[in-house]
Structure 1
Amino acid sequence: MQRPVEPTQYVSLRFTESLALHGLSASVGSVGDAYDNALAESIIGLFKTEVINRHGPLETLTEVEFALMEWCDWYNNARLHSRLDYLTPAEYETAYYAQQPPRRPARV
């Protein structure tokens, strides 16, 4: 007799199905499980290395929240990125949209 599916396995299966519907695959694991989100974990690792380890220890949740907001603003708007020809992500995005043909407004 088979055991019922554990709740963690069920969530994992549903998550994997959701990824598949969007044409994505889990970063690690076998078919039917997705225990890892490599992008999120690498971003969390960057934050820990660049903020918590360098500027910590942070004493309160409020300090962590403000450090996170400042770091996210820098990461998304001010850091120079080699894959973007040493532009900031904000500059690269602005240049990208400047090259796109203008969109016609939808008719109502």
Structure 2
Amino acid sequence: MTAGITRSYSKKAYPWDNACIESFHAIIKRKCLNEYNISSYNEAGRLVFSYIDGFYNTVRIHSHCGYISPLEFEQTYFDKVQKVNKAA
């Protein structure tokens, strides 16, 4: 099933190989997990999901979206597509 695929691993203790996900993990730890006294794995999972779904992917601005939230970026995109479709 994985024939012809080359696995890729970062070097141990070398976070620069995957800086984007390392940055994301740091944000999750700083903004979500460190602020609560978590008592279970399930509670941690709910907190992380809530943060990602309720803030990170909807409200928080992202540089790759032109410093607007992903929700605003998506709405702008769909508005443009709708205008193009109406003009066609």
Q: TM-score range by the shorter chain?
A: 0.5 to 0.7
Q: How does 1:23-102 map to 2 (within 5 A)?
A: 34-35=9-10, 36-55=17-36, 57-73=37-53, 74-79=55-60, 81=61, 83=63, 84=65, 87-100=68-81, 101-102=84-85
Which runs of 5 or more residues in structure 2 are unaligned? 11-16
TM-score normalized by the length of structure 2: 0.65
Q: 2:7 aligns with which of 10, 15, 29?
A: 15
Whole-Å separation in 2 of the counterparts to 1:15 and 1:40:
18
Kindly report the root-mean-square deviation, in angstroms, between the aligned alpha carbons of the 2 structures: 2.2
Which runs of 5 or more residues in structure 1 are unaligned? 1-12, 17-33, 103-108
The structure with the greater share of residues assigned to helix is: 2
Please tell me whether Structure 1 or Structure 2 has the larger radius of gyration of its CA atoms.
1
TM-score normalized by the length of structure 1: 0.54
Offset at residue 82 of structure 1 (A): 6.5
Kindly report structure 1 stretches of 4+ aligned residues shifted beyond 4 Å: none
Q: Residue deviations 1:44-94, cap 9 Å, x none?
A: 110001111122x31101110110111111100122x26456642111211
- Count of residues in correspondence between the two structures: 71
